[in-house]
Amino acid sequence: MKAHDALYIDGEWRPAATTGTIPVINPADEQVIAHVPAGTAEDVDAAVRAARAALPGWAATPPADRAARIAALRDVLAARADEIAATVTAELGAPPKLAAAVHTGLPIAVAGSYAELAATHPFEEKVGNSTVLSEPVGVVAAITPWNYPLHQIVAKVAPALAAGCTTVLKPAEDTPLTAQLFAEAVHEAGLPAGVFNLVTGLGTVAGQALAEHPDVDLISFTGSTAVGRRIGALAGGAVKRVALELGGKSANVILPSADLARAVATGIANVMSNAGQTCSAWTRMLVPAERYEEAVALAAAAAAKYVPGERLGPLVNAAQRERVRGYIEKGVAEGARLVTGGPRAPLATGYYVSPTVFADVTPEMTIAQEEIFGPVVSILRYEDVEHALALANGTVYGLAGAVWGDEEEAVAFARRMETGQVDINGGRFNPLAPFGGYKQSGVGRELGAHGLAEYLQTKSLQF
Known catalytic residues are 245, 279
Q: In angstroms, rounded to a whole number, what is the distance separating the alpha carbons of residues 160 and 444?
A: 14
Q: Cβ(96)–Cβ(85) under 8 Å?
A: yes
CA distances from 124 to 88, 134, 159, 163, 343 (A): 39, 6, 17, 12, 56
Q: Cβ(269)–Cβ(281) under 8 Å?
A: no
Q: Could you give the angle at the alpha carbon of 173 between the alpha carbons of 139 and 320, nearest 5°?
A: 130
Q: In angstroms, rounded to a whole number, what is the distance separating the alpha carbons of residues 72 and 397?
A: 37
Question: What's the gap between Cα 384 and its chain centre?
Answer: 33
Q: Cβ(378)–Cβ(295) under 8 Å?
A: no
Identity of residue 454: E
Q: Could you give the angle at the alpha carbon of 310 between the alpha carbons of 280 and 401, nearest 5°?
A: 15
In DSSP terms, 193 is beta-bridged to: none
Compute φ and ψ for 125, nearest 5 degrees.
-145, 150
Contacts of 88 (CB under 8 A, 6+ apart): 94, 99, 103, 104, 149, 150, 175, 178
Q: Could you give the angle at the alpha carbon of 158 between the alpha carbons of 153 and 159, nearest 5°?
A: 115
Q: In angstroms, rounded to a whole number, what is the distance separating the alpha carbons of residues 39 and 384?
A: 54
* Closest alpha carbon to 273 in 165, 429, 137, 419: 429
Compute φ and ψ for 7, nearest 5 degrees.
-105, 155
